[in-house]
Amino acid sequence: MSADIESALRSSKSAPPMPRLGRKSRLRRIFGQRAVIMLVINLAFILIMTRLSPYFLYAGNGFANFRVMLVSMAMDSIVLAAMVMLLVGGMFDLSVDGVVNMTGVITGALLVSGLNVALAIAAGVACALVVGLINGIAVTRLRMNPLMTTLGTWWVSQGIAFGITQGISSHTFPQAFIDIGYAQPLGITMPIWYAVILLVIAVWVLAKTKFGYHVYATGGNREGARLHGVKVDRVTIISFVLVALASALSGIVYAARLNAAVPQTVNGLNLRVISGAVIGGCSLNGGEGSIIGALLGLFFMTMLTNASIMLNISPYWQMCILGVVVLIAVGADALAKRRIPAA
């Protein structure tokens, strides 16, 4: 948590106005405390892998493997952009997978029934937003535990996806819908465009806007932020809704790229995104983290998975390796906090 926000949230009954952010504080929000470390780790990993496997960044086939990694990371980054805001605000959301699958299934089912693309997408997104709103209200107004709340809404939304399809995927969508996932403006595939746009918006929101300031304040000291006039419940609800919106977009893009609405399109997306963000410097306690740091953390996880495949490592051992990396990141974060003397 930055010094500016710490000073703003010192307990005070008079609740003076929150100070303006300095340039250094904004830079910390953009890059985070671990971004440089993750950049060095990523570059070192690339150098090691190019030695171990000539095809990791092989230029002879147009960097095909690297492009595959970029598209894979872009699909996850659509959700990452919103999830970082939620994590910085001191919350997390495990319902992402269910919302992604539910949105894709609802949109796909409506398209197959003959509804036009815009209305089908609107219906799918609306259902996702309801889930996000339920998560936010349950956690803030009803004081329900975010772990059990979002786990419950994951079950509900995933159940809806299976209930609508009865386990059978929907196929044959209009070309206009397929283009949402496969069009290539300027030779760049759509998932990368979506990810870049959302990530840039998220960086701007967290670093430059009052809402972003309130997100950091809420995650750093919820009660202190409340005393300084921050509507912490509203910040949390909006953050949950934004994650649901990003999940809905992800579900639509997946359905468009698969040309099918599959009830279990994604599995473990929420854990990949949260883990990547934590590796990149986001704190599960809130108040710390950045989009760029989280993106570098997600990139490292994507490369690690890809490298494991290229080195013929069993998928079961891949899970073990990723788990160890996450444990190391969380452990490093905990050790760093223990070394900081209390103010």
- How does pLDDT run along the chain (343 residues), one tens digit per residue? 444 555 444 443 344 455 455 555 555 555 556 788 899 999 999 999 988 887 787 756 667 888 889 999 999 999 999 999 999 999 999 999 999 999 999 999 999 999 999 999 999 999 999 999 999 999 999 999 999 999 999 999 999 999 998 877 777 899 999 999 999 999 899 999 999 999 999 999 999 999 999 999 999 999 999 999 999 999 999 999 999 999 999 999 999 999 998 999 999 999 999 999 999 989 888 999 999 999 999 999 999 999 988 888 888 888 898 889 888 888 877 777 776 554 4
Domain enclosing residue 210, as ranges: 3-339
Q: How many residues does the chain have?
A: 343
Give the separation between CA 105 and CA 266, rounded to whole angstroms: 12
- Asked if 281 and 34 count as a contact pair (C-beta separation under 8 A), the reply is yes
Query: How many structural domains comprise the chain?
Result: 1
* CATH number, residue 123: 1.10.3470
Class of residue 38 by CB neighbours under 10 A (exposed 0-12, middle 13-18, buried 19+): buried
pTM: 0.88
Please report the pLDDT score of residue 82 as a whole number.
Answer: 97
